[in-house]
Structures are given as structure tokens and as C-alpha cells.
Amino acid sequence: QVQLQESGPGLVKPSETLSLTCTVSGGSVISGSYYWSWIRQPPGKELEWIGSIYYSGSTNYNPSLMTRVTISVDTSKNQFSLKLSSVTAADTAVYYCARCSGWYLSPFDYWGQGTLVTVSS
């Protein structure tokens, strides 16, 4: 059974960079069959796809966040990571990592439990 677990600071100051890591167990990020994604959900709001990465390092980002987002993969640790720069209060959200059931445009079949990141001074 694939499991994903997010980790990282729960509080980030405005204008700084949010950094999260997702550790995958029960499966491998090197699997050629899947993309790995970050999705966020502001309190009481809908889900927003941030971006996805393939084990090769190929990435696809939401254009609304593209200028501030970097997703990377560390195959040796079976992890992938998210960096979001120049954060504001609007970036306060629960951040989920998830597996795409195929290429980056596919449903998300496994999710982490989510981690709340608050942007505040």
C-alpha cells in the first residue's frame, strides 16, 4: 500500500519561502508509471493543483503559481519536495502531496494526510 507523508514547517513568515517534503513508502517515485503532485486547500476553500513531477525531473506547474514554485525529486530518498517563494497570507493552506494515477493529467489515487502551513509574521 502506497503511503505519502508531508513534512516541513507549519509557520512561514511573509515574503519567505515555504518548503515541504513528501516521503513515499510502499512504492517508489522511480516508478515510470506515475507523476507525483502537490495540491493545496486554503481553509474552507476548494482544492488547487500546484504542480507535478516525474522521476526524471520533468515538471508541470499551475500557471497561476509557476513564477514562484519549484518541485524537485530525490530518488535516493524516495522523496519529492515543494518550494513556494515570496509567500503571503493567501498561501495559508493545507498542503497535500499525492500520486497521479498516470501522467500528470490524471486523477490522484493516493494522498498524504496534509500539513497546514500558516503564513504569518
Partner 1 sequence: DIQMTQSPSTLSASVGDRVTITCRASQSISSWLAWYQQKPGKAPKILIYKASRLESGVPSRFTGSGSGTEFTLTISSLQPDDFATYYCQQYNSSPCSFGQGTKLEIK
Binding residues for partner 1, per CB under 8 A? Answer: 45-49, 60, 62-64, 96, 98, 101, 104-109, 111-114
Q: CB of residue 110 vs partner 1: minimum separation in angstroms?
A: 9
Minimum distance, C-beta of residue 111 to partner 1, in the bound complex (Å): 4
Q: Which C-beta is closer to partner 1: that of 63 or that of 76?
A: 63
Of 93, 119, 99, 102, give the one whose Cα is nearest residue 111: 99
Which of residues 12 and 97 has its CB atom nearest to partner 1 in the complex?
A: 97
CA distance 120 to 108: 30
Long-range contacts of residues 59-63, Cβ cutoff 8 Å, at least 24 apart? 60/35, 60/104
Shortest separation between residue 64's beta carbon and partner 1, angstroms: 7
- Closest to partner 1 by CB, 89 vs 105, is 105
Angle in degrees, CA 6, 111, 89, rounded to 5: 55
Cβ proximity to partner 1, 64 vs 118, nearer residue: 64
Rounded alpha-carbon distances, angstroms, from residue 77 to 13, 81, 120? 28, 11, 31
Q: Shortest gap between Cβ of 41 and partner 1 (angstroms)?
A: 9
